[in-house]
Amino acid sequence: MEKSAKIYIAGHRGMVGSAIHRKLIKEGYENFVLKTSSELDLRNQNAVREFFEKECPEYIFLAAAKVGGIMANNIYRAEFLNDNLLIQNNVIDSAYRTDAKKLMFLGSSCIYPKLAPQPLREESLLTGLLEPTNEPYAIAKIAGIKMCEAYRSQYGCNFISVMPTNLYGPNDNYDLNNSHVLPAMIRKFHTAREENRPFVELWGTGSPLREFLHADDLADACYFLMQNYNEPEFLNIGVGSDVTIKSLAELIMNVTGYEGEIRWNTDKPDGTPRKLMDVSKLHSLGWKHRTELQEGIRMTYQDFLQKIETYAS
Residue 127 annotated in ligand binding: no
109 is in an annotated binding site: yes
180 is in an annotated binding site: yes
| 62 C-beta neighbours (distance < 10 Å), count | 25
46 to 83, 92, 189, 268: CA distances (angstroms): 15, 13, 44, 42
On whether 11 is known to bind a ligand per the annotation, the reply is yes
| Whole-number Å distance between alpha carbons of 292 and 213 | 8
Instruction: Determine whether the annotation assigns residue 166 to a binding site.
Output: yes
Annotated binding residue 164: yes
Q: Please give the angle made by the CA atoms of 10, 12 and 13, to the nearest 5 degrees.
A: 135
Active-site residue flag, 137: yes
Burial of 250 (0-12, 13-18, 19+ CB in 10 A): middle
CA angle 75–76–78, rounded 5-degree value: 130
Q: Is 167 annotated as a binding residue?
A: yes
Does 107 carry a binding-site annotation? yes
Question: Does the annotation list 17 as a binding residue?
Answer: yes
Q: Is 147 annotated as a binding residue?
A: no
Q: Is 270 annotated as a binding residue?
A: yes
Catalytic residue among 29, 59, 137, 229: 137
Binding positions for NADP(+) are: 11-17, 106-109, 141, 164-167, 180
Active site residues: 137
Binding positions for substrate are: 188, 203, 210, 270
Binding positions are: 11-17, 106-109, 141, 164-167, 180, 188, 203, 210, 270
